[in-house]
Chains A and B, each alone.
Chain A
Amino acid sequence: MKLHARTSRRRFLARTVGAAGALALSGCDALSRTEWFPSVLGAGEKLSQAAHHLLTPRQAMAQEFSAADLSPTFRSNGTAMPNDMRYKALAAAGFADYRLEVSGLVEQPASLSLAELRALPSRTQITRHDCVEGWSAIGKWKGARLGALLEALRPRREARYVMFYCADPMEDDGTSPYYESIDMNDAFHPQTLLAYELNDKPLPIANGAPVRLRVERQLGYKHAKYVMRIELVQSFDKIAGGKGGYWEDQGYEWYAGI
């Protein structure tokens, strides 16, 4: 009798805990679908960014690796071949007609060919690429130092962000081109490159040919591939979804250092 009372009490307890857990979980899912709660959670991003900037000097260098650490093949993620007629034509001609436009809040807008880009001060680095999904790959990059290029074009004082507009449409119908943005501090970081070589070869199309951004110390989606146009702006509120990047517009953090 006593034993029966105890087992039924245990069963009651287990059921109560189970029901409370299920209720709490569906509560979390309901909260995720509200407008306000995810923006409350977004406070975590602001805190992380502030703490990271407090702890690490803005010019702190990302770890560099040795040739022994190189990944046998550098994984291609996201777009492997942009579904865009203009891009396909450029690629078919070996990017001979490629021009990188630099405009916006600069004293001297520019349009650079690949050869001109290659003639700029460059840097070679073996770094680790960390995808937001969780995987990492190590590759050797060579590219023009973005800071040196911008310095030559003289950014205006109001310029706060560097926008990167890309050739790869993210929708099947050829719309929503990929884009990204970084702040001026990251743009002038010595390891921030407009990379045109991967593992001592011209950058493959699957990895963003002819030029992709390397902004070490941030997650992979910041490293825009197929960069066609660079624009210096004061704010990105009015650009596309207003969050500063394609994935940012889908709810990912603009600050991708974590």
Chain B
Amino acid sequence: MPIEKPGAPPSANVRTGTYLYYRHTLPVRVMHWINVIALTILLLSGLNIFSAHPALYWGKSSYTGRQPVLEITATESADGDLVGVTRIFGHEFDTTGLLGASAGPDGDPMPRAFPSWLTIPDSRWLAMARRWHLFFAWVFVINGLCYVGYSVAVRHFARDLAPSASDWRSIGRSIVEHLRFKHPSGEAAKRYNVLQKLAYLAVIFVLLPLVILMGFAMSPWLDALLPGWVDVFGGRQSARTIHFIVAWLIVAFALIHVFEVIVSGFWNHLRSMITGRYRVEVEATDETAR
């Protein structure tokens, strides 16, 4: 099937004052949605795996004589109720209902790091969670390699994601516009703005590779590839901590991403990621409108 090039000439009625612009190619759209599914399953199965030993450490091992940096446990109150306790750098928080103790699949409170609605599978089932996680890790990695290969081949990075000189100059204005929830319209909406480009680049070239690399660092077999390489990141338990933190940074990115999609025209953006076509308002100054 021939792939239509983004930036193809306007295909719609000029009199309506809008036209559909071909914004996302088919491979990018397909890989985007594969990524949504894979990352969601990786997160939720990862939280189940974490629950098998709900503590994070800094160092080569878990037992170094130092306290964990994060610990999610359950204790019993004086009247026998289950209390969820989250301890970060020695500071204790009561997180009953969400972290440490929450309703199990049958509704009764039980000790569990993350609630059942945030884990795959819903019950504490390490073997099954690992199957989901280690299968979709492959889906995610293969999809990511395809994306990088495709983007290099069609110059997607250089054309759409690398900030231009004028982008760098407009960074201050773009920050102000984002804070006021104002978004580019008309012809400017066809391109990514500078903050968007930087966010995407940070996710594609920093967060996603880092979360994969820290996954590798947790594999005792891959540690033997070059003995000692894991120490560059502080050791295996540090790598596990970084893996956990980066996973939540990716969640933070996804939440901001979806928020921006909603406030800047939800259906238009959603359609452009499904059919590829993005509706552009024709501005008065635009030649086609005159």
Q: What residues of chain A have their CB less than 8 Å away from a CB belonging to chain B?
A: 13, 22, 25-26, 28-29, 32, 38, 40-45, 47-48, 52, 55-56, 60-65, 69, 71-75, 128, 130-138, 216-219, 247, 250-253, 257-258
For B64, the chain A residues whose CB sits under 8 A away are: 71-72
Contact status A250-B63, CB under 8 Å = no
Contact A52 B128 (CB under 8 A): no
- Chain B 12-46 residues near chain A, CB threshold 8 A: 41, 44
CB-CB nearest in chain B for A69: B60
For A62, give its contact among B49, B65, B125, B220 (CB under 8 Å). Answer: B220
Distance between Cα atoms of A74 and B137 in the complex (Å): 31
Task: State the interface size on chain B (CB cutoff 8 A).
Answer: 45
List residues of chain B with CB within 8 A of the CB of A22: 117
Could you tell me if A60 and B60 are in contact, using CB atoms closer than 8 angstroms? no
Q: Is B237 an interface residue (CB 8 A)?
A: yes
Interface string of B61-76 (1 = CB under 8 A from A): 1111100000000000
| Cross-chain contact B62 with A32 (CB below 8 angstroms) | no
Residue in B closest to A253 when the chains form the complex, CB atoms = B130
- The answer to whether A130 and B131 touch across the interface, beta carbons within 8 angstroms, is no
The answer to whether A133 and B63 have CB atoms under 8 Å apart is no
Q: From residue B221, how far is it (CB to closest CB) to chain A in Å?
A: 3
Closest B residue to A216 by beta carbon equals B220
B84 at the interface (CB under 8 A from A): no
Asked whether A62 lies within 8 Å of B128 as measured between CB atoms, the reply is no
Per DSSP, chain B at the interface is helix
Interface hub of A134, A137, A251 (most chain B Cβ within 10 A):
A134
> Could you list which residues of chain B lie within 8 angstroms of chain A, going by C-beta atoms?
41, 44, 49-50, 52-53, 55, 60-65, 117, 120-123, 125-128, 130-132, 134-138, 218-225, 227-228, 230, 236-237, 240, 266
> Are B221 and A137 within 8 A (Cβ)?
no
CB-CB under 8 A from A257, the residues of chain B are 219-222
Can you identify 6 A-B contacts, CB atoms within 8 angstroms? A28-B121, A29-B122, A63-B227, A71-B64, A75-B62, A218-B221
- A134→B138 contact, CB < 8 A: no
Residue numbers in A under 8 Å from B41 (CB-CB)? 28
* B220 and A134 form a contact (CB under 8 A): no
Q: How far is the CB of A107 from chain B (nearest CB, A)?
A: 31
Selected contact of A73 from candidates B49, B63, B132, CB within 8 Å: B63
Q: Write the chain A residue with the least CB distance to B122.
A: A29
Docked-complex contact B127 and A258, CB < 8 angstroms:
no
Least CB distance from A251 to B in Å reads 4
A25-B122, A128-B61, A128-B236 known; A63+B131 contact, CB < 8 A: no
Residues of A within 8 Å of B122, CB to CB, are: 25-26, 29
Known: A32-B121, A137-B62; 17 extra A-B contacts, CB below 8 A, are A13-B266, A28-B121, A29-B121, A44-B137, A44-B138, A60-B227, A61-B224, A61-B227, A63-B224, A134-B53, A134-B240, A135-B61, A136-B61, A137-B63, A218-B221, A219-B220, A258-B222
Residues of A within 8 A of B126 (CB): 132-133, 252
Q: Which residue of chain A has its CB nearest to the CB of B123?
A: A29
Residues of the A chain whose Cβ atoms lie less than 8 Å from the Cβ of B117: 22, 25
User: If A29-B121, A44-B138 touch, does A136 touch B219 (CB 8 Å cutoff)?
Assistant: no
Given B125, B130, B230, B266, which contacts A63 in the complex, CB threshold below 8 Å?
B230
User: Cβ of B62: which chain A residues have Cβ within 8 Å of it?
Assistant: 71, 75, 135-137
Q: Is the CB of A41 within 8 A of B52?
A: no
